[in-house]
A and B are shown apart, each in its own frame.
Chain A
Amino acid sequence: MPVRVLENTAPSQVSGANSGRSSSQSCSLLGVGQAFSGTQNVSSVQKDEAWRVNVRIQGCDLEHGYLCGTMEALNVPMADTPVVTFWEGEIVDTKNYTFFTGKWEATPEDDIRHWSKFPSFSPLLGQVEADGGKSLDLSNYPYIFMRWKEQYFVNVGTDCGLTIAGFYYICFSCSDGSISGFYYDPNSSPYQKLELKSTNDGRSGFSFSSYELQ
């Protein structure tokens, strides 16, 4: 979800580790076509504010630790219409990606600080501090950690007064499909919290569609 442009200084980049063994996690609630809705808290010192947010998963490639989709922010004050962005996700599977971001102006300290805000991360903290979590087997862990990075605006121009420079630390619960996240951008308000729940389009149950590229 885009946020307002704010001025600030940028910290330096640090490289992250990117190896280890395979541990692909599969969860049907995180499949293509699945939709989520909730809010992102964009409160600042001046006022409390939360934007309604819808997310739809468009692509999922567990082999490469890749996920993508769209994020729609509904009541953005400076926009006439809902603002839709396309994002790409890195799944922390310790094979393709570790807990250390290694880019996007996020230091290992930033990483640990943000991951630690998820209660489900605490059992992993020690190992992550030791080796970035490379030796962890997350394939049977009921939470999936990801980074979502918005790549472009789908329905508005880049001159809309919004920025997608940052990225989200995401924790997905495989049990109920709920998503928690924190937006990280050194130039924006810290710890903007994203909270989403799996939606079912007014049905009495869960529905699943699918496509297959050739």
Chain B
Amino acid sequence: MPTPYASSAKGLSSSDPILDRLASSDGAVKFRAIREVKNHIIGNRTKKLSYIKLGAVPAVAAALADSNPNLIVQSAAALGSFACGVDAGVRAVLDAGAFPRLIGLLSAPDEKVLDAAARSLRMIYQSKLAPKYDFFQEENMQFLLSLLKSENENLTGLGAGIVIHSCKTNGEQNILCHAGVLEKLTSLLDGSLSQRDASLESLAAIIRDNPTAVSNFVELRCGRALHSVTELTKDKYPRTRLLACLCLISVKNSSTCYLQDIGMKTKLVYILLELLDDSGQVGDEASFAFSSLIAEKEDLQKLAFEANAINKFNCLLQKHPIQPKRLEGVLLALADLCSKLECCRSSFLSLQVLNLVIDALTHEDARVRTAACICLRSVSRSIKNLSAGCFMNERVVFPLVRLLSDLSTSVQVAALGAISNIVVDFLPHKSIFVQCGGVKELVQLTKSMDSSLRLNAVWALRNMVFLADTICKEGVFVELTASSMASLICDPEPSVQEQALALVRNFVDGCLYSVEHAFAEDGIILDAVGRQLQKSSKIEIGIQGMYILSNIASGNEFHKEAVMQLLFPQDENGSHSFFEQFLHSPDSRLRTAAVWVVINLTFPSSPGAFGRIVNLRSFGIVSRIKKMVNDSCMDVKLRARLALGQIITFGDS
């Protein structure tokens, strides 16, 4: 994080003669002044900020236009130093107009000038603030290729730095492949340590999430490039090993054809776990690389579990102080580890990692708070532990609910994700969650302008109302109101509509009284459900809607008749067509849900069943059900037979 200038500008003032000397017309004075500044600021962030505040950077940059090569070299070196690791320095160098001048110096005949300019530009390209390089301009690509094929290590390093900085999209990756950048980069793998690392990092940038680029890379030099990278996973330098792993992970993740043998997978797991011990940047980045290796891959998560990864991350969490980036990476890696396998979650809980994750919920860094929530979301996928009440307690719930009003939307969304799981505790009251104001917060977020917040808030409410008792449901219903629920059913986002319908489905489940919720405020909810079913843009929306109607139709006569009215309104023609469509749907889940509505409408013990059967017959539903008794899906077939059996008890005609 940049430090405020005011607290750092020690020992220098605007009256400092250094500025005069930097602007001196005497070349020798100027040279010494620049060298003095350069020597002061190397590796000293505070001094850099002081000189920046003093306005030294434009004066140093002005020397790039000098005719004296020694002065230019000093100036470029000082500017590079200002830009190294300090964003304020990069900004000052760019603002001083030094960037195009440095680029211009790359064609200087003087080798020392060229070297100094290239080094300086490399520093600048390490910052996100550096200007984006446009690979789609032909002359830019030619320039990049000329850098990469240079004999000069600083120029090749700069070329790689440009790729690492600016290659972000698939289009950029593809054009770089097409131009032959992969070949140039792989030829650097045999170079110096710095060339090797720069090459590996830029290769990783080009092939990341791009199967075409990976395929190009794998075929390079008949697979020898891939082999070279594989060998570099054994290098003695941790950073080289990490970068080689990143390349291999990209290759492995791109297709099921490459690097799928268990030996390679195990090797990557162990190398990355070992790299976590590095106390510097490599250790910080290793956990992110580990995440990309195991995310969504059950087999790799199992291998990592067997390699004692949970314990390793637990030990890392216990170390103090722990930098925010490292903490974030460890939490996200734990989240991926616990995303699928119960053995990982059990180990996580038995090692009491949960306590450390809960502490991270109140960390000052928003990325750490987000990662802690994501980790909790993953661990709380364990139904066994949800049912045992491992998460529904004050220690977990209170800080999570507080995060619902976090200033960062990412934190709010992640907290909603964890809460969505934790509220599924299979107990009817959810009293802890209600007591800490969780319902109010959730309801508030359902009104957010941000659709991801609305979606996750409705999702959490839907899960909360699952098997909840009347008191809990009533509390949510009063807070949310029927009209808000109707609005959510008609939300512009289909995913919100689906969750809102699932929420209503859970509201009208349970005791008979629960069905009344659908009829509150003159049936505004049921009207909204009907409108949404007419549109039925998404299968899942149809399914949830059908289960709402099915649940209502399992109520009393009034409820059943209301469903009949919705399905077959007397004053409209053909509006029941969506119901027929659902019974014909290619999706067996939707057919099943639709048949359940028929089963409940024709339930034998209900007095109005016969009249409804007559109507269903007249609308062609009974003949449709008859055809479904041999449905290809067993569930549909059995439900259709049940429905038909009930219909036949009233006589078939």
Q: Which residues of chain A have a CB within 8 Å of any CB of chain B?
A: 25-28, 33, 56, 58-59, 68, 70, 86, 88, 139-142, 151-152, 154, 174-176, 200-214
Contact with A along B544-587 (1 / 0, CB 8 A): 00010011011110001000000000000000000000000000
Q: Which of A26, A33, A152, A203 contacts B388 (CB 8 A)?
A: A152
Query: Is B275 close to A, CB under 8 A?
Result: no
Assuming the contacts A154-B388, A205-B553, asked whether A174 and B634 have C-beta atoms less than 8 A apart, the reply is yes
For chain B, residues 485 to 537, give those with C-beta under 8 angstroms from any C-beta of chain A.
502, 505-506, 508-512
User: What are the 9 tightest A-B residue pairs by CB atom distance, in nearest-first order?
Assistant: A205-B554, A205-B600, A59-B383, A209-B509, A211-B466, A203-B554, A211-B463, A205-B603, A214-B417
Query: Is B314 close to A, CB under 8 A?
Result: no
Interface size on B, residues (CB 8 A): 51
* Beta-carbon nearest neighbor of A209 in chain B: B509
For chain B, residues 626 to 652, give those with C-beta under 8 angstroms from any C-beta of chain A.
633-635, 638-639, 641-642
For chain B, residues 453 to 500, give those with C-beta under 8 angstroms from any C-beta of chain A.
456, 459, 462-463, 466-467
Query: Is B421 close to A, CB under 8 A?
Result: yes
A201 contacts B512, CB within 8 Å? yes
CA distance A18 to B421 in the complex (A): 31
Closest CB in chain A relative to B146 CB, distance in Å: 50
Closest CB in chain B relative to A95 CB, distance in Å: 15
A201 contacts B463, CB within 8 Å? no
Q: Which of B418, B560, B634 contacts A142 (CB 8 A)?
A: B634
Q: Which of A204, A209, A213 contacts B505 (CB 8 A)?
A: A209
A selection of 27 A-B contacts at a CB cut-off of 8 Å is A27-B634, A27-B638, A28-B592, A33-B509, A59-B383, A86-B384, A174-B634, A174-B635, A201-B511, A203-B512, A203-B554, A203-B555, A204-B555, A205-B600, A206-B550, A206-B554, A207-B508, A207-B509, A209-B551, A210-B506, A211-B462, A211-B466, A212-B462, A212-B502, A213-B421, A213-B463, A214-B417
* Beta-carbon nearest neighbor of B385 in chain A: A86
How many pairs, one residue from A and one from B, have CB atoms within 8 Å of each other in the complex?
Answer: 125
B512 contacts A213, CB within 8 Å? no
* Beta-carbon nearest neighbor of B423 in chain A: A211
Q: Which of A86, A202, A204 contacts B603 (CB 8 A)?
A: A204
A142 contacts B638, CB within 8 Å? yes
Q: Which residues of A contact B431 (CB under 8 A)?
A: none
Query: Is B164 close to A, CB under 8 A?
Result: no
Q: Which residues of B contact A174 (CB under 8 A)?
A: 634-635, 638
* Beta-carbon nearest neighbor of A200 in chain B: B554
* Beta-carbon nearest neighbor of A176 in chain B: B642
Query: Is B424 close to A, CB under 8 A?
Result: yes
Q: Which of A56, A88, A205 contacts B599 (CB 8 A)?
A: A205
Assuming the contacts A175-B638, A204-B555, asked whether A209 and B603 have C-beta atoms less than 8 A apart, the reply is no
CA distance A202 to B418 in the complex (A): 34
Q: Which residues of B contact A70 (CB under 8 A)?
A: 387, 426
Q: Which residues of A contact B603 (CB under 8 A)?
A: 204-205
* Beta-carbon nearest neighbor of A35 in chain B: B467
Q: Which of B377, B502, B550, B551 contacts A214 (CB 8 A)?
A: B377
Assuming the contacts A154-B387, A213-B420, asked whether A202 and B511 have C-beta atoms less than 8 A apart, the reply is yes
CA distance A176 to B550 in the complex (A): 17
Q: Which of A28, A142, A202 has the most CB of B within 10 A?
A: A28
Query: Is B196 close to A, CB under 8 A?
Result: no
Assuming the contacts A68-B383, A206-B550, A206-B554, asked whether A211 and B424 have C-beta atoms less than 8 A apart, the reply is yes
Q: Which residues of chain B have a CB within 8 Å of any CB of chain A?
A: 377, 380-381, 383-384, 387-388, 417-418, 420-421, 424, 426, 456, 459, 462-463, 466-467, 502, 505-506, 508-512, 547, 550-551, 553-556, 560, 588, 592-593, 596, 599-600, 603, 605-606, 633-635, 638-639, 641-642
CA distance A202 to B512 in the complex (A): 7
Q: Which residues of A contact B641 (CB under 8 A)?
A: 175
Q: Which of A26, A151, A209 has the most CB of B within 10 A?
A: A209
Assuming the contacts A207-B550, A207-B551, A209-B509, asked whether A25 and B459 have C-beta atoms less than 8 A apart, the reply is no
Q: Which residues of A contact B384 (CB under 8 A)?
A: 68, 86, 88, 151
Closest CB in chain B relative to A47 CB, distance in Å: 33
Assuming the contacts A27-B635, A86-B388, asked whether A207 and B420 have C-beta atoms less than 8 A apart, the reply is no
B606 contacts A58, CB within 8 Å? no
B509 contacts A208, CB within 8 Å? yes
CA distance A25 to B637 in the complex (A): 13
CA distance A140 to B631 in the complex (A): 11
Closest CB in chain A relative to B517 CB, distance in Å: 13
Closest CB in chain B relative to A141 CB, distance in Å: 8
CA distance A141 to B508 in the complex (A): 32
Q: Which residues of A contact B463 (CB under 8 A)?
A: 211-213
Closest CB in chain B relative to A180 CB, distance in Å: 17
Closest CB in chain B relative to A55 CB, distance in Å: 13
* Beta-carbon nearest neighbor of A59 in chain B: B383
* Beta-carbon nearest neighbor of A208 in chain B: B547
* Beta-carbon nearest neighbor of B383 in chain A: A59
CA distance A51 to B127 in the complex (A): 71
Closest CB in chain B relative to A99 CB, distance in Å: 20
Closest CB in chain A relative to B339 CB, distance in Å: 11
Q: Which of B380, B553, B635 contacts A28 (CB 8 A)?
A: B635
B505 contacts A210, CB within 8 Å? yes
Closest CB in chain B relative to A5 CB, distance in Å: 22
* Beta-carbon nearest neighbor of A210 in chain B: B502
B459 contacts A214, CB within 8 Å? yes
B551 contacts A26, CB within 8 Å? no
Q: Which residues of B contact A211 (CB under 8 A)?
A: 424, 462-463, 466, 506
CA distance A205 to B633 in the complex (A): 22
Q: Which residues of A contact B600 (CB under 8 A)?
A: 204-206
Closest CB in chain B relative to A152 CB, distance in Å: 7
Q: Which residues of B contact A210 (CB under 8 A)?
A: 466, 502, 505-506, 547
CA distance A140 to B377 in the complex (A): 35
Q: Which of A28, A33, A58, A140 contacts B639 (CB 8 A)?
A: A28
